[in-house]
Amino acid sequence: SDIGLEGRTAEAESVIRSMVATRGFSAKIDHENGMVYFTAADDEHDEDSDEEDEYRADLAGQMQQCIDLADRIRILDADITASGRYQQISVRKEANAKANAQSGEGGEGAASGAGGGPRGVADIR
């Protein structure tokens, strides 16, 4: 053996346990054949991994819902931006803002967007 533990089973097991505890992997000792099998700690399949698999599947489903919602919002945004009604309201709002700025008006109403701008999707359609 490279570490000089031949014939000293208890000492070998102690070294293996120490390595497992400090290095983030797991080991399975096969006493019958005198072998040690090392695996990454994440690869070990126990009862917790079923819960983790379920959690990951649930998280993946929620992420997919977010992606789908983002796609729907992107499509809605493109539809609204391309809408003739939205563009009319935007042009009117911009013209009103310029007129207010030239006439010296421009109080709170102009800054807040009051004065004919769309207040929601229903105003555009």
* Per-residue confidence (pLDDT) for residue 63, from 0 to 100: 92
Mean pLDDT of 2-16: 69
Tens-place pLDDT, residues 13-34: 888 888 777 777 778 888 787 7
In the chain, % helix, strand, coil (3-state, to 5) comes to: 65, 10, 25
Q: Positive or negative, the Cα torsion across 24, 54, 64, 125?
A: negative
Mean pLDDT of 75-93: 90
Yes or no: say if 20 and 26 are a contact pair by the CB < 8 Å rule.
yes
Which secondary structure element, helix H or strand E, spans residue 24, and what is its range?
none
Tens-place pLDDT, residues 107-121: 544 444 455 556 666
Q: Give the range among 44-48, 88-92, 95-99 with minimum mean pLDDT.
A: 44-48
